[in-house]
Structures are given as structure tokens and as C-alpha cells.
Amino acid sequence: MIRFRTPLTLASASLAAGLLLSSCETKPATTSENPTAAAVPTDSAASTAAPAAPIDATAKAPSPSEIPAAQRADAAAILARPQVPILCYHQIRDWRAKDSKGAKDYIVPVAQFKAQMKMLADSGYHTILPDQLYAYLTTGAKLPSKPIMLTFDDTDLDQFTVARPTLEQYGYKAVYFVMTVSLGRPNYMSKAQVKQLSDEGNVIGSHTWDHHNVKKYEGQDWVTQIEKPTKTLEEITGKKINYFAFPFGLWRPESIPELKKRGMDAAFILAEKRDQQDPLYTIRRIIASGYWSPRTLHNSIVQSF
Ligand SMILES: [Zn+2]
């Protein structure tokens, strides 16, 4: 199986079908936003929102559509809440001789991945899902202690065969951002596997049709890359798809209203700064590198969020 992890220009030149199965991200940055601001909790949302019973998102959270607009905090209040750490994974497999130095940031060896998950469990982390995060960010809903979100991009098969059973050991759930062009291809998940993940309580998110950069979309691209793939995922899972991850973590303000129009309630970037007007559409994640020991991962979680 040939894996296309080459830079975009090379990949484009070599792929007659316009199929781009490149790595998701540009760099495993762990830059942090202003940690001082993030460390100060605020109740300003609660004081300005309409009176309502506080939402408890420790178990099952309401979907975004079930939260009245009047109860949702404004951007400033959302930005002021402490961020929940979110990890982004791609391939979970042992390194091969031909893997480049850079690619290894996106390829976490099996034993390393298992050690990372064990560290999270031993450290008392509880996984949360996007509805819980949304309720927390918009209403201040209560979360489990030491919340963390695990996300897996690009539909790689080892996310099903390796990550899924490992997460199961710890009662962890995750978000799988699926690029629909790869469904059923060798070394990628099938539709049945995506449905199984969904049925087992994980969340399936949209990650475009073939991983093209959202910053370059115009006209029909929104239909091809967002509308149709999202509908495909809704048909596979039988559930509404509410969440999106930007390929390469790349976005621009103009893309946010386009995502809103197409039913997305939140979107995920990488470690860059969040949008000040629409923080729900620029939720930060860090790439958990294949080079990271459990201790390095722990340090990155603490420093980056
Ligand atoms: Zn990706």
C-alpha cells in the first residue's frame, strides 16, 4: 500500500485522480495561547444567561441544538474558560524503515500509544466527547475531573484495530474525524467499522471528502468537501454530524459561516490561536507525536492548554 505523505505539490502531481491522502497536519506544534487568561475561570456566562437548571455534562450532555441560544455564553466568556486538552492522532503503528523523520510525528508506535493511554488513565484523566465540551464551553456545564478529548483523523484502519481496543480497556471514548474518500480503501476503515465506532458510543466527525485545504474552497467545493461527505457520514451512522476538523488545521474566518450553514456546531483546528469572534469553530488540539514518551505527552498537555 502506497501512503501519500508527500507535500501537496508532489502529491498532486502524482495523483491523476486528484486523490490526496496526505498527512493531516503541518506541524506538531505545542504553542499555547496566553496561559494566564486560560487559567482564570469565570462565571460571567452564568450571570448573563437566562435562568435555567445548570447542565451536568459528566455523563450524557445535551446536543448543541438542545441548548437554548439564550443560555449560550458569548465569545469572551468561552475564551475565558480553561481549555480542555485535546489530542490529535493519525496512524498508530510501528515505524518502518522508509518512514521519514517528519512523518514519525504522525505515526505513533503501538507500544508508545498504549503507554500514552496508560499514563492518561493512571493520571486520572477522563475522556469527554464534543457534546460535553460544547455544553461546558457554552453554559459552563460540569465536566468529569481531569477531562481530556482524544481525536483520530484521516480514517486510518489502525485507529479501529489498535486504538479502539486500547481505549476500551480504560473505558475511553473518542472522536473519529473521517475523510470519506478513503472509506473502504486498503489500510483505511470501512463504512461498517465507522458505524461500529459510532454505535459503541464514539463520535464521528467530518474531515472533508479528500483532505483539500479549506482556505482554498470556493463555490461548489463546499458541497463536494463538506455537504456531501457529511451526508454520507450521517447515512452511515444514522446520526446527525455536528463537528468538523480542518485538514492540516488550516482555516480562515470566511470558512466559519460556511460551516455554520452546513450544520456544524463546532470545528477543530490545531495548536494555533483561536478566533476571537468564533472560538467554538477554532477549538485547539495538539498532535500527540510518535516521539513522545508518556512523560513528554503529559508535559505537553499541561503546557499547551
Ligand atoms: Zn487530516
Assign residue 263 a region (left: φ > 0; alpha: ψ between -120 and 50; beta: otherwise).
Answer: left
CA of 246 from ligand 1 middle (Å) equals 7
User: In this predicted model, what pLDDT tens digit does every residue of 102-159 receive, in sequence order?
Assistant: 999 999 999 999 999 999 999 999 999 999 999 999 999 999 999 999 999 999 999 9
Cell numbers found for residue 124:
486520572
- Which pLDDT value is given to residue 52? 59
CA of 210 from ligand 1 middle (Å) equals 9
Task: Kindly indicate the confidence band of residue 9, based on its pLDDT and cuts at 50, 70 and 90.
Answer: very low
- Which pLDDT value is given to residue 132? 97
Task: Kindly indicate the confidence band of residue 17, based on its pLDDT and cuts at 50, 70 and 90.
Answer: very low
CA of 26 from ligand 1 middle (Å) equals 10
- Which pLDDT value is given to residue 244? 98
User: In this predicted model, what pLDDT tens digit does every residue of 25-82 receive, in sequence order?
Assistant: 444 444 445 444 444 444 444 444 445 567 888 778 999 999 999 999 999 999 999 9
CA of 121 from ligand 1 middle (Å) equals 26
Spans of all domains in the chain: 28-304
Beta bridge mates, 176? 152, 204
* pLDDT at residue 281 tops 70: yes
CA of 290 from ligand 1 middle (Å) equals 16
CA of 94 from ligand 1 middle (Å) equals 20
- Which pLDDT value is given to residue 40? 40
Q: CA angle 128-182-165, nearest 5°?
A: 40
CA of 23 from ligand 1 middle (Å) equals 6
- Which pLDDT value is given to residue 189? 98
CA of 189 from ligand 1 middle (Å) equals 14
User: In this predicted model, what pLDDT tens digit does every residue of 211-239 receive, in sequence order?
Assistant: 999 999 999 999 999 999 999 999 999 99
Percent of the chain topping pLDDT 90: 79
Please tell me which residue, 47 or 10, carries the higher pLDDT value.
47
CA of 232 from ligand 1 middle (Å) equals 17
CA of 22 from ligand 1 middle (Å) equals 8
CA of 247 from ligand 1 middle (Å) equals 5
Percent of the chain topping pLDDT 70: 83
* pLDDT at residue 292 tops 50: yes
- Which pLDDT value is given to residue 199? 98
CA of 88 from ligand 1 middle (Å) equals 10
CA of 190 from ligand 1 middle (Å) equals 17
Coil, helix or strand at residue 245: strand
Instruction: Report d(CA 53, CA 252) in Å as an integer.
Output: 36
CA of 111 from ligand 1 middle (Å) equals 23
Summarize the chain as % helix, strand, coil (round to 5).
40, 15, 50
Phi, psi of 155 (to 5 degrees): 75, 15
- Which pLDDT value is given to residue 232? 98
176, containing H or E segment:
strand 175-178
- Which pLDDT value is given to residue 21? 42
- Which pLDDT value is given to residue 201? 97
CA of 53 from ligand 1 middle (Å) equals 38
Question: What average pLDDT does the segment 167-176 reach?
Answer: 98
The topology (CATH level 3) of 28-304 is TIM Barrel (3.20.20)
